[in-house]
Structure 1
Amino acid sequence: MSSVARVTTISARSETSFDDAVSIGVARASETLRNVSGAWVKDQKVEAQDGKITAWHVVLEVTFVLE
């Protein structure tokens, strides 16, 4: 059986960690997109204040299979 997938770019932010930001992004994408099958972390960065990290950001390429 053949399938066709599409990739979309999303960004997510967490005040906890990169892992949490990825989880938030995939969970949110799954609320809108059907058949999410994976995600690739394309970019990541942090926010800092007074020498401490205050937030983690990721840019994800989310793959979902078309019906």
Structure 2
Amino acid sequence: MGGQRDQDRLAERFETHRARLRAVAYRMLGSAGEADDAVQETWLRLSRADADGVGNLAGWLTTVVSRVCL
């Protein structure tokens, strides 16, 4: 029922963190292209996760993008 709306809201929340996540990934990887790939992979993982269960989205996203980079 609200599936697409929920996904759209989640995408909006993710977008508020994209620049910071890209900066973290770029610092770790040293490549803009690889940083963009890491951020995209982070979005894919978030879109498949139970985001309602994430209490601290910023922290969760930072952890995931860091792990993707490693």
Global fold match (TM > 0.5): no
Greater relative contact order (Cα 8 A, min sep 6): structure 1 or 2? 1
Higher helix content, 1 or 2: 2
Structure with larger Rg: 1
